Structure 1
Amino acid sequence: MANQLDGKRVAILAADGFEESELASPRAALQGQGVETHVVTLDGKGIRAWAETEWGETYDADKALDDADPTNYHALLLPGGLFNPDTLRTNEKALSFVKAFFQAGKPVAAICHAPWILINAGVVDGRKLTSVPSIAQDLKNAGAEWVDESVVCDSGFVTSRTPKDLDDFNAKFIEELGEGRHSNQHA
């Protein structure tokens, strides 16, 4: 797998209130495989994590959204949390950034509440995915086929429910990143 991941770059789009483990764990797993990761924030400033029941650490940004070009990345990671996806799903630049990965057939991984962003980006209709159960109906209403499984992969589109699924989520995302572009990935 390591050779397939040489030179790969992953954008991690997040805002204040992301679930800390849902950024930290996948980023560590990716970096452990030699993948370069960039935390992309709306303004290029650090963002504060939500750590289960209270505010967590502040994470430095690597790039501002205005300076991040989707063509410079091989995949996109969207951590969940409650506040983070709610902020990003109402930001048109964030939605355009997300949609560009789907249009290019690149792997996208979203966990927990992050599929809220994908609803507003218009990329879930006809797709099979999972999420935290509280937004299952939102996804169904947007045309997705929602299932209750630890990890779901639909042509390079990887989703999981909660932090307890991170081992499965990380492994599947790394596998999809190694495979590269997916012809059936679409917006």
Structure 2
Amino acid sequence: MTEQLLAGKNIAILVANGFEEVEMTEPQRALLKAGAKPKIISPEQGLVNGWHGAAWGHYFPTDRHVGEVLAADFDLLVLPGGDRSVAKLATNPHTRRIVGSFVDAGKGIAAFGKGVELLALVERIKTRTVTGADSARAALEAAGAVWSEDAVVQDRFLLTAQSSENMADLIDAMLRHFEAAVEQRKQAA
């Protein structure tokens, strides 16, 4: 079923230098396998550098610059964590525009670890139940979200996860979540 529902879907993966590498590469790999078309969106030009463990990781080619992207160009959104990446994206006005447009449209979003903090920027997550990195809790609660201690939380179009310790379970949850989001949008059309 995954291959049918996600085949051909354009999926934005929003990252900046210092993103948590496994939180980008594992979803990207699973989405490609499901027939989707994941695209790396970044404020970096050409290449974006991941963070792996306690040091800089690999470089990855970017597909589109964040300033040239509209949420309407994509069906789904992935927000990997990483302290440096989230800090840089949080200061970029295009991040607010893109994430806010996904929230407003009710399009599927999967946010991992520290990446969940980017949802607080849009100030449109009041009453949504979320989880993520503990460091994101205060910002999300200030934005009106309801914090959960669960490892993975789904609230309508939004899937949030605390960490990447068990990526296989997170990937399964993300694929099921994205399938449901695509099906809901198909039925609403």
Could you tell me which amino acid in structure 2 is paired with residue 163 of structure 1?
S
Counterpart-to-counterpart distance in 2, 1:45 and 1:148: 37
The Cα shift of 1:28 comes to: 0.7
Q: Please give the alpha-carbon distance, in whole angstroms, between the structure 2 residues aligned to 1:37 and 1:131.
A: 22
Structure 2 residue identity aligned to 1:134 = S
Q: Which amino acid aligns with 1:65?
A: V
Distance, in Å, in 1 between the alignment partners of 2:135 and 2:90 is 17
- The 2-side partners of 1:142 and 1:52 are apart by 30
1:70-149 to structure 2, matched below 5 A, reads: 70-149=71-150
CA distance in 2, matches of 1:20, 1:119: 22
Unaligned runs of 5+ in 2: none
CA deviations 1:159-179 (Å, max 9, x no partner) are 101111422222122112222
- Residue 133 of structure 1 contacts residue 148 of structure 1 at CA under 8 Å; is this kept in 2? no
TM superposition outliers: structure 1 runs of 4+ over 4 Å:
none
8 Å Cα contact 1:131-1:161 kept in structure 2: yes
Greater helix proportion: 2
The structural deviation recorded for 1:43 is 4.1
CA contact (8 A) 1:107 1:177 kept: yes
Q: Which amino acid letter does the alignment assign opposite residue 151 of structure 1?
A: V
The alignment-based identity, stated in percent, is 27
The within-5 A match list for 1:152-171 is 152-171=153-172
C-alpha separation in 2, matches of 1:136 and 1:66: 28
TM-score by length of 2: 0.91
Structure 2 counterpart of 1:52, one-letter code: G
49 and 43 in structure 1: CA distance in 2 versus 1, 3 angstrom threshold: closer
